Amino acid sequence: MNSFALADCSTVEAALSQLKDGAVVKAGGVDLLDRMKNGTDTPTRLINIRNISELRGIQSTPEGLTIGALTTLAEVADDPGVRSQYTVLSDACGQAATPHIRNMATLGGNLLQQLQCWYYRSPDFQCLRKGKEICFAFSGLNQYHAIMDYGGCPSVAPSSGAVALLALDASVELTSTAKGKRTVAIRDFYLHPDANPHRFHVMAADELLTSIHIPKPAPGTRSAYQKYGEKESHDWANADAGILLEMDGSLCRRAVVAMGAASPVVRRSREAEAALAGKPITPETARAAGQASMTGAMPLSMNAYKVQLFPVAIYRTILLAAGQMDRDPSAAG
């Protein structure tokens, strides 16, 4: 690891005043320190924001929920209000990584973690995302990579939290000294690699992600998240599903089907959602939605298994959200 200076900040103003000249923010440090230890990132100055207490906590308002960016994944997962009304988010945070990591990792950092593509994470490979014109995954080891919407970079969206927040139509608050505060919807936050291969999101270098806002779910909403992987725990998803169902009695008025490990940016499957809207939730409609979610899939040489795994993840998570199935013991988390 390279040597670096560390500025410990206890207020947003102090952190923002330090956020210049290539300084990098450290929240829980789980992702950032990994990148520094790998040698892919060599910042010379870190700003430790972990002790800014005003950026921590969960507030329920009549409009919905505001979560401070430094609230840990464990705190989100264990919050009774999140568990009862925003279950997709408590599931996603509670199944990410490991108990130790969830106690350290923050929700803001989870949304901002970088790609897990092993070529990207190695200092020995310089690919499209690092300013070159080549992707090693198309002809290399691509079993964990994307099966749809990938353009020039099939690395997948790594954040379970982002899948849940996309399903909940959430937004993030970004704060800078120059521009003050602005709010960006999660659906607009991440940049597709074809739009800009060198940036992952629209947040500027002088901005802090300060909070996450989630609108109150409509009456009759039920939701759930499940992820499936190679290991039972300690790993990112190979397929995941964030499901939100707005129910009118036994009919599904509106459905949201969000996926992370299918594509470089978290996505909604409009085809799967259409397969549920206006219908009762049954094993048949859930199965049809799972199949519809694979519309347009173009698996790579080593990941055709995902075309079978995603429909199962979506089918089982729809039934879990609807209260017709228990949490799948073969799901990871």
Ligand X SMILES: Cc1cc2nc3c(=O)[nH]c(=O)nc-3n(C[C@H](O)[C@H](O)[C@H](O)COP(=O)(O)OP(=O)(O)OC[C@H]3O[C@@H](n4cnc5c(N)ncnc54)[C@H](O)[C@@H]3O)c2cc1C
Q: State the residues that interact with ligand SF4 by CB under 6 A.
A: 115, 117, 119-120, 127-129, 135-137, 145, 153-155
Instruction: Tell me how far, at minimum, the Cβ of 270 lies from ligand SF4, in Å.
Output: 25
Per-residue binder mask for ligand X (CB under 6 A), 180-219, x = binder: ----------------------------xx----------
Instruction: Tell me how far, at minimum, the Cβ of 228 lies from ligand X, in Å.
Output: 11
Q: Which option in ligand X, ligand SF4, none does residue 67 bind, with CB closer than 5 to 8 A by kind?
A: none
In the three-class reduction of DSSP (H, G, I as helix; E, B as strand; rest coil), residue 21 is classed as coil
Among positions 14, 24, 58, 302, the unique one binding ligand X when judged by CB under 6 A:
24
Q: What size, in residues, is the chain?
A: 333
Among positions 28, 94, 193, 264, the unique one binding ligand X when judged by CB under 6 A:
28
Pairing type for strands 239-248 and 251-259 reads antiparallel
How far apart, in whole angstroms, are the C-alpha atoms of residue 301 and residue 4? 41
Report yes or no: 271 and 292 within 8 Å, Cβ to Cβ: yes
3-state helix, strand, coil in the chain (%, to 5): 30, 25, 45
Q: Which option in ligand SF4, ligand X, none does residue 115 bind, with CB closer than 5 to 8 A by kind?
A: ligand SF4
Among positions 89, 112, 146, 147, the unique one binding ligand X when judged by CB under 6 A:
112
How far apart, in whole angstroms, are the C-alpha atoms of residue 264 and residue 72? 24
Q: Note whether 274 binds ligand X by CB under 6 A.
A: no
How far apart, in whole angstroms, are the C-alpha atoms of residue 168 and residue 78? 18
Report yes or no: 134 and 125 within 8 Å, Cβ to Cβ: no
Select the span of 6-14, 25-33, 241-249, 307-315 touching ligand X (CB under 6 A).
25-33
Among positions 9, 16, 23, 27, the unique one binding ligand X when judged by CB under 6 A:
27
Q: What value, to the nearest 5°, has the Cα angle with vertex 157 and ends 12 and 40?
A: 70
264 or 275: CB nearest ligand X: 264
Within 208-267, the residues that bind ligand X by CB under 6 A are 208-209, 234-237
Task: Residue 290: name the closest of 320, 265, 266, 314 by CA.
Answer: 314
Helix (H) or strand (E) segment spanning residue 184? strand 180-185
Per-residue binder mask for ligand X (CB under 6 A), 291-320, x = binder: ------------------------------
Q: Is 313 left (phi over 0), alpha (psi -120 to 50) or beta?
A: alpha
120 or 189: CB nearest ligand SF4: 120
What are the residues binding ligand X (CB under 6 A)?
24-32, 69, 96-97, 101, 104-106, 108-110, 112-113, 158-161, 208-209, 234-237
